[in-house]
Structure 1
Amino acid sequence: MEILILVVTLVFELTIAAYSIATKQRRSKFKSWMRITMFIGFMILILGKVVVWDFTWGLFQGLLFILAFKEIVALLGKQTHTSRYKTSSTIWKFLILELIVVVTLGPVLLFPQYRLPQVTGPYAVATATYTYVDKNRIEEFTDQDDNRFVNVEFWYPEQADGTYPLLMFSHGAFGIKASNSSTFTELASHGYVVVSIDHPYHSFYTFSEDGKIVTVNPEYMQEVNNANKAGIYSLSEYFELTQKWMTLRTDDMNFVMDTILEQAGQGEGSVYELIDTQKIGVFGHSMGGAASVALSRERDDINAVVNIDAPFFSELAYDKVTNELSAKSEAYTIPLLNIYSDDVWIQLDNSPSYIANKISNENFNSAYTVHFNGAKHLSLTDLPLFSPILAYLLQGGKADIDKYYAIETQNEIILQFFDYALKNQGLFVPKTTY
């Protein structure tokens, strides 16, 4: 719809310019009625809900209004002086206006309207956001002696009739806590309390309850980008970076988990009273998936883990003598589901980062492994839905899989896994490839 509106608007303006050149008129009733028609037509699309209006349409709607209002004034007024017609002036005005049209439609093209993924559970879903301040940690990303804070958002059954398993999510390297909102909504609709964490300075941006905005730390972003390039870091430097990232992530997750469990069963009418503290799962995408696996090694109250497209950083060991990475030898006994895109799948057998992820690793022989054929790294988040252009740019191309099939199927698989592992409901027999 966004592209169609862009094309129609450009064609209308091209028609106006061509008419002006053909008739050698700077002003005409044809031009006036064309622009008034454009504005009326757009308003009809909004009122008919063909266009779902939000703030991204504001600039374009404002442009159409200004153009239409100007032409209404021209129709009602009397022209007292007409300057000499210049074809070059018409062409330049046309080109400038076309550029303005593209710019005003930019937000809509970047974030087009889309349908929400399917929600299949019986519960309506409510959300709540909180900011937790860790008085035992000083923020390492600032020069001030501020305590580390973590922003979280809950998705939970609105009409609750008991307690529900708690699921904690950690986003990817530069992600945000809402990166997999469709997954959280689907899980909550089936009777789960889901909490997603914004890791300040690791997340692209995060908002605190007091209005404070924190964006991603440039040095951290550079570290991650360089780590994905050959020859920037030595193997020992790479290993130290991954462990540093895991420490910050798991410290945040431990703090949030402990805070929630301290509040569980308290605060009548709050989300905390809905939590079953005996049934806990963790999951995450990319670096968040790696952190989820790491956290499950640290705590004995985690009952299930989902790793979405991440290396097992916490399972790596570095040998200074041989300058090699190897997989640790401790058996992993917690129910684990691995979900991989093509981007990661092709690295499982040839990248040192994924040496612990190998299907042949006997320490994880009870883990479930699923591969989405044709998916790219961000296909396993909601980003391709609300910004296909950003997803294309960030992951280096278009995925060869339907974006709704990828996220809705993943949501279904994760739900089935947690139902099996935490609620003892049904069997879990996923396909190897989707």
Structure 2
Amino acid sequence: MWQGAPGTEDGPVTEIITDLYMSPLELLAVLAAAAMVMVRWLPPAARARVTIVAGAILVLSAIVLGMVGLRWQMVPVLTGSAFALPFALSPLLRRRSGRPARRARWWLALPGSLACLGLIATGPMAAWAFPIPAFPTPSGDFAVGTRVVQWTDPHRPETATADPQDRRTVVVQLWYPAQPSPAGVQRAQYLGRTAHEARIVSEALARYAGLPGVLVDGVPRAHTHAVFNAPVADKGGRFPLVLFSPGLGGVRTQNTAWAEDLASHGYVVAALDHPYDSAAVVLADGRTINTNIKSTGDDEDNKRAVETTRIRAADLSFGLTQLSRLDRGEIAGALAGRLDTSRVAVTGHSLGGAAALQAARQDRRFAAVIDLDGYPRDPGTGPFHQPVLALTQAITPETDSRYLPRLTEVLKHSTAESYRLTIPGAAHLTFMDAPLYLPPVPSMVGSLGRTESPRVVAAATLAFLDSTLRHKPGDLADALSTYGELSVYHPD
């Protein structure tokens, strides 16, 4: 979706463009192409004028779109107009040369016109199915800033390489409460620090999912609401922390809408890239590390998932150690003295949710846990002391029959009150940014819709964090139950 500048008033034209997920120039090209097809059916006095105007608009639009980057969704539009163009121009050229104009009989022209219009209509339909994602406006009072850091753990060897000197490195993106930025300031690129990094990550995600990269070529064109390296907010005191681990093959930015919303409410979100596990990790020196893990569903895959979860849990604990050092000023950074490391939640999606559960059991510095539809993988499940919120997709006959019993077993191990919230209409990908840019197929991204999906996930998460980290008064169970079917697990 293409958005106007912040603070501008939306009118009818803007609403049409938003609904079609097309830029004004793309929409203009579609209308000109349709007009070119319809010339045959206009009154004779209007045909020449419409042909000239529509043709000029179409050619200029195609040239400009080619210069700024033509999306594949516009190919059928230009193809349909190319078929119609000779038939629209021929009568005009023949008349100019003094020859009588020839027009096909209506019953011959009608099938061709309908075919061209159908081809042109494919463009808006494809743009709607695979749009440039438009991130929902964060609901909190703070503006949002973002930074990317890279940390190496000198005490842990990198087990994915044969080099005995290689040490485990993680790339972390921080979203934090920021001072308001001037109007018109450049917003952060989605998926990467630069457009080049965003394309690398987008192509890697498409390969991992088995999709042609061209289908999601609009994703790396998106910009979010955060501003890179914006000054930290001068109010709000010390901010609670939320560490996040993405799903298997996922990347640190996969939950950007969620992270921005939390940051706007006064949290600092630290999302990790896990090298050799995340689809693509671009390091500070420009090297790209692609994943060497592929989910297969067999027993060997389960063994790898257990080992990967163990490594990720260690990454999360290391990330918290580094953030504590950052807060104390041992690592240079604008957030020094602004992180409340006594109020920390560990979270994750899918395999990242499993890693969050394991990290919490092993590291009591984490005060709360959020598992976004993750199957627990910790082989050493035992008592842990943090309250847990597990958000799950709608349970269907196709859901792994082991999922709920295993998750229930883990939740009952907590010595604090824990919750499982099943969100009606949610699918596994509902809990990340995917509904913003994938086709709204319920089995894939759920049936909540592009706007409602991120809103519900963020709202339920905030209710839990405000209660457990900020000790906000109120009935947490009652607040959570407004978003779905709630099960409460009381400590024995």
Quick check: TM above 0.5? yes
Question: Cα offset for 1:340?
Answer: 0.8
Question: Cα offset for 1:12?
Answer: 4.9
Residue 321 of structure 1 aligns with which residue?
A: none
Q: In the alignment, does 2:207 pair up with 1:133? A: no
Amino acid at match of 1:261: S
In the alignment, the residues of structure 1 paired with residue 238 and residue 384 of structure 2 have an alpha-carbon distance, to the nearest angstrom, of: 28
**Aligned with 2:169 (options 149, 156, 161):** 149
Residue 285 of structure 1 aligns with which residue?
A: 349
Where in structure 2 are the equivalents of 1:337-356 lying within 5 Å? 337-342=389-394, 347=399, 351-356=401-406
Amino acid at match of 2:264: S
In the alignment, the residues of structure 2 paired with residue 18 and residue 414 of structure 1 have an alpha-carbon distance, to the nearest angstrom, of: 51
Go from structure 1 to structure 2 and tell me whether the alpha carbon gap of 1:59 and 1:254 turns closer, same or farther (over 3 Å shift): same
**Aligned with 2:325 (options 244, 256, 262):** 262
Residue 160 of structure 1 aligns with which residue?
A: 234
In the alignment, the residues of structure 1 paired with residue 457 and residue 324 of structure 2 have an alpha-carbon distance, to the nearest angstrom, of: 28
Contact map agreement 1:57 1:105 (CA 8 A) in 2: no
Contact map agreement 1:382 1:407 (CA 8 A) in 2: yes
205-214 or 173-182, larger mean C-alpha shift: 205-214
Contact map agreement 2:348 2:356 (CA 8 A) in 1: yes
**Aligned with 2:57 (options 37, 52, 61):** 37
CA offsets per residue over residues 164-201 of structure 1, 9 Å max, x none? 11110111112221122222122222221111111123
Residue 426 of structure 2 aligns with which residue?
A: 375
Go from structure 1 to structure 2 and tell me whether the alpha carbon gap of 1:362 and 1:157 turns closer, same or farther (over 3 Å shift): closer
Question: Cα offset for 1:127?
Answer: 0.9
Go from structure 1 to structure 2 and tell me whether the alpha carbon gap of 1:123 and 1:3 turns closer, same or farther (over 3 Å shift): closer
Residue 49 of structure 1 aligns with which residue?
A: none
Contact map agreement 2:344 2:366 (CA 8 A) in 1: yes
Contact map agreement 2:129 2:438 (CA 8 A) in 1: no
Where in structure 2 are the equivalents of 1:196-207 lying within 5 Å? 196-207=271-282
Q: In the alignment, does 2:323 pair up with 1:242? A: no
CA offsets per residue over residues 226-278 of structure 1, 9 Å max, x none? 12xxxxx34xx454223111122112222222222222231676123311121
| SS of residue paired to 2:173 | strand
Residue 6 of structure 2 aligns with which residue?
A: none
Q: In the alignment, does 2:469 pair up with 1:422? A: yes
Amino acid at match of 1:255: F
| SS of residue paired to 1:419 | helix
Residue 256 of structure 2 aligns with which residue?
A: 181
**Aligned with 2:286 (options 199, 211, 218):** 211
Go from structure 1 to structure 2 and tell me whether the alpha carbon gap of 1:204 and 1:108 turns closer, same or farther (over 3 Å shift): farther
Question: Cα offset for 1:111?
Answer: 2.8
Contact map agreement 2:326 2:332 (CA 8 A) in 1: no
Identity of aligned residues (%): 21
Go from structure 1 to structure 2 and tell me whether the alpha carbon gap of 1:346 and 1:275 turns closer, same or farther (over 3 Å shift): farther
Q: What is the number of equivalent residue pairs in this alignment?
A: 384
Question: Cα offset for 1:415?
Answer: 1.3
Go from structure 1 to structure 2 and tell me whether the alpha carbon gap of 1:404 and 1:100 turns closer, same or farther (over 3 Å shift): closer
Residue 3 of structure 2 aligns with which residue?
A: none
In the alignment, the residues of structure 1 paired with residue 463 and residue 271 of structure 2 have an alpha-carbon distance, to the nearest angstrom, of: 19
In the alignment, the residues of structure 1 paired with residue 259 and residue 167 of structure 2 have an alpha-carbon distance, to the nearest angstrom, of: 29
In the alignment, the residues of structure 2 paired with residue 293 and residue 155 of structure 1 have an alpha-carbon distance, to the nearest angstrom, of: 22
Residue 358 of structure 1 aligns with which residue?
A: 408
In the alignment, the residues of structure 2 paired with residue 133 and residue 361 of structure 1 have an alpha-carbon distance, to the nearest angstrom, of: 32
Where in structure 2 are the equivalents of 1:274-423 lying within 5 Å? 274-314=338-378, 316=379, 328=381, 330-342=382-394, 347=399, 351-358=401-408, 362-364=412-414, 366-384=417-435, 386-389=436-439, 392=441, 396-397=443-444, 399-423=446-470
Contact map agreement 2:242 2:346 (CA 8 A) in 1: yes
In the alignment, the residues of structure 1 paired with residue 390 and residue 352 of structure 2 have an alpha-carbon distance, to the nearest angstrom, of: 13
In the alignment, the residues of structure 2 paired with residue 212 and residue 138 of structure 1 have an alpha-carbon distance, to the nearest angstrom, of: 19
> TM-score scaled to structure 2, two decimals?
0.64
Amino acid at match of 1:265: R
Q: Which runs of 5+ in 2 are unaligned?
A: 1-16, 43-47, 87-91, 105-110, 179-232, 485-492
In the alignment, the residues of structure 2 paired with residue 107 and residue 420 of structure 1 have an alpha-carbon distance, to the nearest angstrom, of: 40
In the alignment, the residues of structure 2 paired with residue 261 and residue 241 of structure 1 have an alpha-carbon distance, to the nearest angstrom, of: 30
In the alignment, the residues of structure 2 paired with residue 55 and residue 139 of structure 1 have an alpha-carbon distance, to the nearest angstrom, of: 39
In the alignment, the residues of structure 2 paired with residue 332 and residue 357 of structure 1 have an alpha-carbon distance, to the nearest angstrom, of: 14
Contact map agreement 1:119 1:185 (CA 8 A) in 2: no
Q: Give the superposed CA RMSD.
A: 4.7
6-15 or 207-216, larger mean C-alpha shift: 6-15
Amino acid at match of 1:351: S
Go from structure 1 to structure 2 and tell me whether the alpha carbon gap of 1:18 and 1:276 turns closer, same or farther (over 3 Å shift): closer
In the alignment, the residues of structure 2 paired with residue 153 and residue 165 of structure 1 have an alpha-carbon distance, to the nearest angstrom, of: 16
Amino acid at match of 2:307: K
Residue 336 of structure 2 aligns with which residue?
A: 272
Go from structure 1 to structure 2 and tell me whether the alpha carbon gap of 1:276 and 1:356 turns closer, same or farther (over 3 Å shift): same
| SS of residue paired to 2:337 | helix
Go from structure 1 to structure 2 and tell me whether the alpha carbon gap of 1:136 and 1:99 turns closer, same or farther (over 3 Å shift): farther
Amino acid at match of 1:153: Q
